């Protein structure tokens, strides 16, 4: 018992073990700046402890603990210049045979004795005496055990991932999934393609300087469209900024997208938000707010409202792997579980939060595992498998509404595009990794193979669809660009329900200034 | 309204003031170690012991206790009058209850607001009446229950979010500023957020820095927020009801030391305008602008000033955003002298903004520089004397008026 206990302690305190990513390995080649002063105290610790009577196991675990902390702080300061693996190799002064070979270590025998009583008790068979050692504690009965047993930092195996279509777009035999009609299946495909075309053209428009900013959803088309397809229009969506496909599915037109990106007078947001921060009251899609994860508690509030009104609908909120580090994520999951409200938390785990890989974002097995800790039913799903996403969200919605409970869905995917137009992701991740996900793992072509196999799709239909979307979008962009910007008065409306006197005054002064200095203000803005 | 003003004025002029306020003050002292769990009901019952303990702790030269409850004798004398007598926290509760009766969309959320009734008992009994869902106890996470309120508000509910202490709302600052204040605007008016965020704030009785926050200044520059501070049972109820009915997010500041203030308020339904200042004492010589608890320090000083032959006009500005420049302007045009008295921070505080607004708008009417008495720019200290020196005292107000009127 003691040996396994020690092993688990020391392993638990090495945060890097089991988390060597490709990116991490690559970074090992970089030489980290060695700050001797920072781990000199650890060496001193080591020596003093070696001479103490505490025993080597304790030295090791304590050191490891120190290192864990040190590495955590280093990680925050200089994430990429201090690869954790090489750090471990650097400091470890112990002969390598001791690292894995505790049994041959004489000091270990001492520690066997040290915990002899514990071992004796734990070795005893579970008898009646143990069965009585149960405590009623809020939440249920808690069993007392004589062993000192720490919960492992992770279950031995990673949570498995639900999938329906294999890499070739064939349904995996024995997979359970929600049937999709031809009509829905084709609309799903059409919207996924539209989203791809939209991303390509808007991205280009940004590069040409016609809009200031854009965010693509490339690689996450299945998540966008298939999750939306599994919902109804009555379900309330609290998006982040990489889910325009949900809006597309609900009927937002290309012209409406273009109007928002160009911030013209037909934009529902009246030109007040960056591109991609869409919002539509009509389509139950709440306006995107830039700070990460603030929409998650909103969704819980909306679900609370749905529960109060006994509506047959749920709230759905989307966020990325980075968003799960925000306090709002944790609190919202906890709130939803406690309040038993119908909400689906949809995590798009796409591997990257701008330049931060998930290995530097969290040490848990993704987001899905956290659901259980908060008392939520959760599922991990292949985010590049439209049928799996559709089926999982469909079932999640049914459960959420029927049982009035929150559900967490984690979709594994990859952000094929850059974070935004302000980012060049090839600076921090290998191009072949991006290419692999863009081609071999592309959710759109995988899904296309499935509809083709069903006889619902062909090359002609494909080229016609792409060409039509392209034409329509180019037309929409031209129209959006030509359209007037919102008038000056709109600068002051909607701050409050009515324009208060101080804003009236500010508006008056602004108009006066413009009148006096017309050359200094853009002529195309209606005053 | 006028009747209530007179009542308030009578209250201030009452000779029982000192005794009563001593009572109140001691109650708070005893309460302070308990901090968040403090109950106003306990406060009252502790009054008896106050005199000796109080004297030992603080110098008699400071008149810091300008909050008062009516004596029993005066209560009896008003029994025959219309209306009913309530404490300020009960007035807030009445406001909540009436609005919940009137509109099924009104709901309450926060920590311990349910069967516990809120730390200052403002939601007492409401969970029993309206159920656990409409009076929702949330786990502890200020940012998230505020966010939840915003989500619910965008869905059409009218949540009243209680911050157990205004200082804790700093934890909700992101939701309040980024979402609550902006989403109506950024959505192009598609989504409204008719939420009320309320709770006890201000410098209490030795509650330490974090429990004695003066956050008005933090919130004042958030676009989209409206802010009001209540100071009497009458306006507490009226402002609460108006805030709930408003389509805008409203922050309602209550003051920890005013919850036990007693006043006779009308039986019938009324609301107070959220943008309106309140005339407390008409006068001719100098305009004193104040709000929340400082109103009572000002009225203490006003008593002294009247005895000295001055005639100050006292206005409770009540609306901290936007300022009621109409009423304030009328007063400035009459007296030509302005003193601002506030509990807020000196730097970047409400007083600083108000002074700027007066100078901008009424410069030509001013016969003297606008004076502003604010709290010191320090975290509120715990020790009683230090705390007293942090906030404005009536003697300073008297001195300032004398200087202004020279």
Each residue of A90-136: pLDDT tens digit? Answer: 333 333 333 333 333 434 434 444 333 334 344 445 455 555 689 99
Task: Compute the nearest-CA separation of B378 from chain A (Å).
Answer: 29
**What would the mean pLDDT of A382-395 be, rounded to a whole number?**
98
**What would the mean pLDDT of A196-200 be, rounded to a whole number?**
97
Taking an 8 Å cut-off on Cβ atoms, the answer to whether A308 and B188 are in contact is no
| A440-482 pLDDT per residue, tens | 999 999 999 999 999 999 999 999 999 999 999 999 999 999 9
Taking an 8 Å cut-off on Cβ atoms, the answer to whether A306 and B174 are in contact is no
Taking an 8 Å cut-off on Cβ atoms, the answer to whether B190 and A281 are in contact is yes
Better-scored residue on pLDDT, A4 or B111 = B111
**Mind giving me the DSSP string for B312-375?**
EEEEE--EEES--HHHHHHHHHHH--EEEEEEEESTT-HHHHHHHHHHHHHGGG-SSPPEEEEE
Strand partners, A140: A137
| B163-196 pLDDT per residue, tens | 998 888 899 999 999 999 999 999 999 999 999 9
For residue B150, which residues of chain A lie inside 8 Å, CB to CB? 297-298, 301
For residue B144, which residues of chain A lie inside 8 Å, CB to CB? 297, 300, 327-328, 331-332, 335
A19-23, A69-73, B286-290: range with highest mean pLDDT: B286-290
Longest dimension (CA), chain A: 93
Q: For tokens 């009308």, what's the residue?
A: B266
For residue A296, which residues of chain B lie inside 8 Å, CB to CB? 147
Q: Do domains B86-265 and B277-406 have the same CATH topology?
A: yes
SS3 assignment, position B239 = helix
Interface list for A 79-118 with B (CB within 8 A): none
**CA-CA distance, A260 to A255, in Å (whole number)?**
9
Interface list for A 200-239 with B (CB within 8 A): 236, 238
Cα-based angle A305, A310, A312 (whole degrees, multiple of 5): 100
- Count CB atoms within 10 A of the CB of residue B98: 18
**CA-CA distance, A387 to A169, in Å (whole number)?**
10
**What would the mean pLDDT of B138-162 be, rounded to a whole number?**
96
pLDDT band at B155 (very low <50, low <70, confident <90, very high): very high
Q: Tell me the fold of B86-265.
A: Rossmann fold (3.40.50)
ipTM above 0.85, yes or no: no
Which residue does chain A place closest to B184, by CA atoms? A494
pLDDT band at A157 (very low <50, low <70, confident <90, very high): very high
pLDDT of residue A83: 38
Residue B253 confidence (pLDDT) above 70: yes
Helix and strand tally (H, E) in chain B? 18, 14
Task: Give the mean pLDDT of chain B.
Answer: 84
pLDDT band at B79 (very low <50, low <70, confident <90, very high): low
- Is the CB of residue B188 less than 8 Å away from at least one CB of chain A? yes
**CA-CA distance, A378 to A344, in Å (whole number)?**
10
* Beta strand spans in B50-184 (E): 84-87, 106-110, 135-137, 158-162
For residue B191, which residues of chain A lie inside 8 Å, CB to CB? 279, 281, 286-287
Q: H helices of B182-221, where?
A: 183-186, 208-211, 216-220
Q: For tokens 């603080």, what's the residue?
A: B58
pLDDT of residue B17: 35
Taking an 8 Å cut-off on Cβ atoms, the answer to whether B188 and A494 are in contact is yes
- Is the CB of residue A281 less than 8 Å away from at least one CB of chain B? yes
For residue B136, which residues of chain A lie inside 8 Å, CB to CB? 304, 339
pLDDT of residue A526: 73
- Is the CB of residue A331 less than 8 Å away from at least one CB of chain B? yes
pLDDT band at A527 (very low <50, low <70, confident <90, very high): confident
Residue A232 confidence (pLDDT) above 60: yes
pLDDT of residue A519: 87
Residue B67 confidence (pLDDT) above 80: no
- Is the CB of residue B131 less than 8 Å away from at least one CB of chain A? no
For residue A290, which residues of chain B lie inside 8 Å, CB to CB? 178
- Indicate if A290 belongs to the active site: yes
Q: Best of A287, A310, A317, A326 to disrupt the B interface by mutation (most B CBs within 10 Å)?
A: A287
Q: What count of residues does chain A have? A: 527
Q: Are B108 and B159 in contact (CB under 8 A)?
A: yes
Taking an 8 Å cut-off on Cβ atoms, the answer to whether B144 and A331 are in contact is yes
Better-scored residue on pLDDT, A22 or B104 = B104
Task: Compute the nearest-CA separation of B229 from chain A (Å).
Answer: 18
- Is the CB of residue A273 less than 8 Å away from at least one CB of chain B? yes
- Is the CB of residue A506 less than 8 Å away from at least one CB of chain B? no
- Catalytic residue set of B: 142, 211
Which residue does chain B place closest to A298, by CA atoms? B151
Task: Compute the nearest-CA separation of A304 from chain B (Å).
Answer: 7
- Is the CB of residue B248 less than 8 Å away from at least one CB of chain A? yes
**What would the mean pLDDT of A304-323 be, rounded to a whole number?**
97
Give the gyration radius of chain B's Cα atoms.
Answer: 20
Candidate list A147, A204, A403, A505, residue with the active-site label: A204
Query: What kind and span of H or E run contains A22?
Result: helix A22-28
Task: Compute the nearest-CA separation of B67 from chain A (Å).
Answer: 33
**CA-CA distance, A488 to A39, in Å (whole number)?**
60
- Is the CB of residue A341 less than 8 Å away from at least one CB of chain B? no
| Ramachandran quadrant class, A219 (left: phi over 0; alpha: psi -120 to 50; beta: rest) | left
pLDDT of residue B49: 34
Residue B61 confidence (pLDDT) above 90: no
Pick B277-406's CATH classification: 3.40.50.720, 3.90.1580.10, 3.40.1410.10, 3.40.50.920.
3.40.50.920
pLDDT of residue B355: 98
| B184-233 pLDDT per residue, tens | 999 999 999 999 999 999 999 999 988 998 989 999 999 999 999 999 99
- Is the CB of residue A501 less than 8 Å away from at least one CB of chain B? yes
Task: Compute the nearest-CA separation of A229 from chain B (Å).
Answer: 22
Domain ranges across chain B = 86-265, 277-406
What contacts A210, CB < 8 A, 6 or more positions away? A262, A477, A481
pLDDT of residue B44: 29
**CA-CA distance, A371 to A356, in Å (whole number)?**
22
- Count CB atoms within 10 A of the CB of residue A82: 19
Closest CA to A526 of A487, A482, A489, A492: A487
For residue A305, which residues of chain B lie inside 8 Å, CB to CB? 151-152, 155-157
């Amino acid at each position: 018992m003691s040996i396994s206990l020690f092993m688990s302690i020391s392993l638990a305190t090495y945060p890097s073990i089991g988390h060597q990513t490709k990116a991490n390995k690559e970074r090992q080649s970089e030489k980290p700046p060695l700050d001797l002063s920072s781990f000199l105290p650890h060496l001193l610790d080591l020596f003093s402890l070696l001479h103490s009577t505490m025993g080597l196991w304790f030295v090791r675990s304590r050191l490891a603990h120190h290192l864990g902390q040190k590495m955590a702080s280093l990680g925050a300061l200089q994430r990429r210049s201090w690869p954790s693996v090489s750090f471990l190799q650097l400091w470890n002064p112990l002969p390598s045979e001791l690292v894995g070979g505790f049994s041959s270590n004489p000091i270990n025998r001492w520690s066997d004795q040290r915990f002899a009583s514990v071992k004796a008790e734990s070795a005893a068979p579970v008898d009646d005496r143990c069965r009585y050692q149960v405590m009623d504690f809020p939440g249920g009965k808690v069993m007392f055990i004589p062993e000192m047993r720490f919960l492992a930092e992770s279950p031995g195996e990673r949570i498995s991932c639900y999938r329906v279509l294999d890499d070739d777009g064939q349904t995996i035999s024995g997979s359970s999934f929600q049937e999709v009609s031809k009509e829905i299946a084709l609309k799903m495909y059409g919207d996924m393609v539209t989203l791809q075309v939209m991303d390509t053209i808007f991205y280009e428009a940004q590069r040409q300087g016609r809009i200031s900013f854009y965010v693509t959803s490339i690689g996450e088309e299945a998540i966008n469209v298939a999750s939306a397809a599994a919902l109804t229009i009555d379900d309330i969506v609290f998006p982040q900024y990489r889910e325009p496909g949900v809006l597309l599915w609900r009927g937002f037109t290309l012209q409406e997208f273009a109007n928002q990106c160009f911030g013209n007078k037909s934009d529902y947001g009246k030109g007040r938000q960056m591109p991609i921060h869409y919002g539509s009251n009509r389509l139950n899609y709440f306006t995107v707010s830039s700070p990460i994860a603030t929409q998650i508690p909103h969704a819980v509030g909306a679900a609370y409202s749905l529960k109060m009104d006994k509506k047959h609908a749920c709230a759905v909120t989307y966020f990325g792997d980075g968003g799960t580090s925000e306090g709002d994520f944790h609190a919202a999951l906890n709130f939803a579980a406690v309040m038993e409200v119908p909400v689906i938390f949809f995590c798009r785990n796409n591997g990257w939060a701008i330049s931060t890989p998930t290995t530097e974002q969290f040490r848990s097995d993704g987001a899905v595992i956290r659901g259980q800790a908060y008392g939520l039913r959760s599922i991990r799903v292949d985010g590049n498998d439209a049928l799996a996403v559709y089926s999982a969200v469909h079932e999640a919605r049914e459960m959420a509404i029927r049982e009035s409970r929150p559900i967490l869905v984690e979709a594994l995917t990859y952000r094929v595009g850059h974070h935004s137009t302000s980012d060049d992701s090839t600076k921090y991740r290998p191009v072949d990794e991006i290419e692999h996900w863009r081609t071999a793992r592309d959710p759109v072509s995988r899904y296309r193979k499935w509809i083709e196999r069903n006889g619902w799709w062909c090359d002609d239909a494909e080229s016609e669809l792409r060409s039509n979307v392209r034409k329509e979008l180019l037309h929409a962009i031209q129209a959006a660009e030509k359209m007037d910007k919102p008038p000056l008065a709109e600068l002051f409306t909607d701050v409050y329900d009515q324009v208060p006197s101080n804003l009236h005054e500010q508006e008056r002064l602004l108009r006066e200034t413009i009148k006096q200095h017309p050359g200094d203000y853009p002529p195309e803005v209606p005053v | 309204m006028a009747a209530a003003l007179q009542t308030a004025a009578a209250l201030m002029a009452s000779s029982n003031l000192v005794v009563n306020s001593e009572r109140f003050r001691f109650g708070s002292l005893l309460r302070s170690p308990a901090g968040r769990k403090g109950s106003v009901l306990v406060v009252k019952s502790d009054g008896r012991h106050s005199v000796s303990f109080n004297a030992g702790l603080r110098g008699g030269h400071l008149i810091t206790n300008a909050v008062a409850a009516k004596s029993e004798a005066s209560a009896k004398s008003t029994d025959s009058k219309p209306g009913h007598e309530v404490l300020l926290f009960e007035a807030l509760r009445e406001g909540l209850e009436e609005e919940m009766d009137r509109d099924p969309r009104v709901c309450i959320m926060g920590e311990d607001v349910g069967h516990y009734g809120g730390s200052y008992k403002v939601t007492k009994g409401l969970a029993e009446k309206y159920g656990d869902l409409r009076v929702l106890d949330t786990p502890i996470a200020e940012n998230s229950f505020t966010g939840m309120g915003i989500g619910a508000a965008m869905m059409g509910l009218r949540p009243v979010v209680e911050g157990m202490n205004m200082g804790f709302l700093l934890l909700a600052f992101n939701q309040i500023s980024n979402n609550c204040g902006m989403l109506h605007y950024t959505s192009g008016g598609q989504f409204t957020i008719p939420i009320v965020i309320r709770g006890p704030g201000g410098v209490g009785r030795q509650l330490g820095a974090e429990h004695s926050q003066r956050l008005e200044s933090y919130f004042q520059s958030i676009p989209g927020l409206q802010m009001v501070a209540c100071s009497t049972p009458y306006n507490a109820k009226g402002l609460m009801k108006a805030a709930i009915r408003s389509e805008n997010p409203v922050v309602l500041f209550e003051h920890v030391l005013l919850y036990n203030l007693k006043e006779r308020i009308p039986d019938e339904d009324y609301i107070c305008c959220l943008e309106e200042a309140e005339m407390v004492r008409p006068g001719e010589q100098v305009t004193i602008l104040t709000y929340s608890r400082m109103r009572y320090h000002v009225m203490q000083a006003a008593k002294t000033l009247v005895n000295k032959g001055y005639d100050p006009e006292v206005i409770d500005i009540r609306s901290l955003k936007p300022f009621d420049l109409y009423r304030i302007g009328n007063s400035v045009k009459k007296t030509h002298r302005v003193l601002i008295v506030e509990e807020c921070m000196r730097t970047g505080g409400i007083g600083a903004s108000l002074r700027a607004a007066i100078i901008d708008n009424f410069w030509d009417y001013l016969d003297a520089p606008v004076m502003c008495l604010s709290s010191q720019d320090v975290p509120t200290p715990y020790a009683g004397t230090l705390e007293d020196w942090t906030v404005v005292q009536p003697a300073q107000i008297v001195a300032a008026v004398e200087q202004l009127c020279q």
